[in-house]
A = this chain, B = another copy of it.
Amino acid sequence: MLSEADNRLLTQTGPGTPMGAFVRRFWLPFLLSEELAEPDGPPVRVRLLGEDLIAFRATDGGVGLVDAFCPHRRAPMFFGRNEECGLRCVYHGWKFDSSGTCVDMPSEPPDSLFKTKVGIKAYPVRDAHGVLWAYLGPVGAAGELPHLVWMDQPAEYRFMGRWLQRSNFVQAIEGELDSSHLSSLHQPLVLDPKLPPTGLGKYVREDTAPTWTIREQPYGLTATARRRADGDRAYFRTNQFLLPFGSLIAPDAGRARMMRFWVPRDDETTLVIAINYHEDRAVSEDEAAGYRAGEYGFCVVRPGTDWPVPGPDNDYLMNRDVQRAKTTTGIPGIRNQDLAMVEGMGARVDRSFEHLGTSDTAIIAMRRTLLSGARDLANGTPPVAAAGGDLYRVRSWSAVLTDAEFAERVDELQLSLPA
């Protein structure tokens, strides 16, 4: 449970908000590189932290991210012409380069100095590892990009997607870190003896009340859910919360690892960047086809939009007969099941009505980390994690261990192996 004031502090990220200032200290992924591939190609609308922006790939391959409205008379830059290393507003021909500098102002006399005095708001962009990253924070305070495990590997070891979600970003992260709901939301009604003994299988079904170990980390948190396994051994699932909005979920045996960025688009919608990856092999054709069809943490979007097919207007494709006979929800697909819960709370849930239990330990810890980060910055202490780089070279994991083995190996298991 949070007070209404804390709930606002946690969830509001627009210009001038403390959480917005906190998140702006980090690099924010906002598009896949392939979505803005063509130099001088069509500009793309982007909304980040409540700001409307336009992204364009310039002639030299660099990417600009500028105000959606021209500084002259606020004409829409979306209709701009992307040409010769700049985006030209079509209304009066003012042209800006990726840094926001006005490089042509044909509507003023050639000797006018006005051009040197007017720029368009522009944010630095990095194009790295298949993702476009923006920095919306104060000049000079940007750190390195996070150095994530999948960045060290060949591109074919990963599969990426992007879509939008009708919820605040914190709600989205809560849904991801919450190992507890695996025992209910994603379960079939009848035990299938053919399922593997880990992951969503036996242990998760049999021990529905995991206990938690939370460990603060320089980059965020580890949250380990422990469930009874066989004899004196337990099933440990360790998820990572990567500041300010990343998650790494413990993979099932043999399946891909899931990295997700839950980027605040505005206070009621989230931009999701999804990366499934292996550490030791390429994503197979079968796996990729499954991801494209909405399996294993991906979403199929409505044609011409970035919104998922399952939504409030179709009750997330729920089928009550399936719910009655086969699965807890009757909703097809794990991500759709998550979406129905997280969006179904309302876009920004009022946490003053909650009743949290021991199962919510990871969620409580994550909120505390965000809240104290925002408060610390407001008090003058910027976040350590914003330095980025190797801090982020971690993994999630699951394993069946004795408690002694867990205590001994917990630090090692989360580190990425050298390639």
A binding-site residues for B, Cβ under 8 Å: 40-42, 69, 71-76, 78-79, 81, 90-93, 105-110, 112, 114, 117-118, 174, 180-181, 183-185, 208-209, 211, 315-316, 318, 320, 323-324, 328-329, 331, 337, 340-341, 344-346, 349-351, 353-360, 363
Contacts and interface: CB of A to CB of B under 8 A. Distances in A.
Contacts of A346: 69, 74
B90 A185 contact: yes
B353 A71 contact: yes
Contacts of A75: 341, 344-345
A344 B180 contact: no
A107 B183 contact: yes
B73 A356 contact: yes
Contact of A209 (B106, B117, B355, B358): B106
A74 B209 contact: no
B356 A181 contact: no
The 6 closest A-B CB pairs, nearest first, are A76-B344, A93-B184, A106-B208, A107-B359, A74-B345, A42-B320
Nearest to A72: B355
Given A320-B42, A359-B108, A353 B69 contact: yes
8 contacts: A74-B354, A90-B184, A92-B181, A92-B185, A93-B184, A106-B184, A107-B180, A107-B184
A81 B357 contact: no
A73 B337 CA distance: 15
A207 to B, nearest CB: 10
Contacts of A337: 90
Nearest to A344: B76
Contacts of A209: 106-110, 112
Contacts of A350: 74
State the majority secondary structure of interface residues on A: loop
A356 B108 CA distance: 10
Contacts of A351: 74
B345 A79 contact: no
Given A73-B174, A107-B359, 15 more contacts: A73-B349, A73-B360, A74-B346, A74-B350, A75-B344, A76-B340, A76-B341, A79-B315, A79-B331, A81-B329, A90-B329, A105-B357, A106-B183, A108-B357, A118-B355
Contacts of A106: 183-184, 208-209
B360 A184 contact: no
- Which of A180, A341, A354 gathers most chain B CB within 10 Å? A341
A355 B107 CA distance: 13
A305 to B, nearest CB: 12
- Which of A73, A355, A363 gathers most chain B CB within 10 Å? A73
B329 A185 contact: no
Nearest to A71: B355
A107 B357 contact: yes
A78 B331 CA distance: 13
Contacts of A92: 180-181, 183-185, 359
A327 to B, nearest CB: 9
Contacts of A331: 79
B114 A357 contact: yes
Contacts of A323: 81
A25 B331 CA distance: 39
B356 A72 contact: yes
B79 A344 contact: yes
A358 B78 contact: no
A12 B54 CA distance: 30
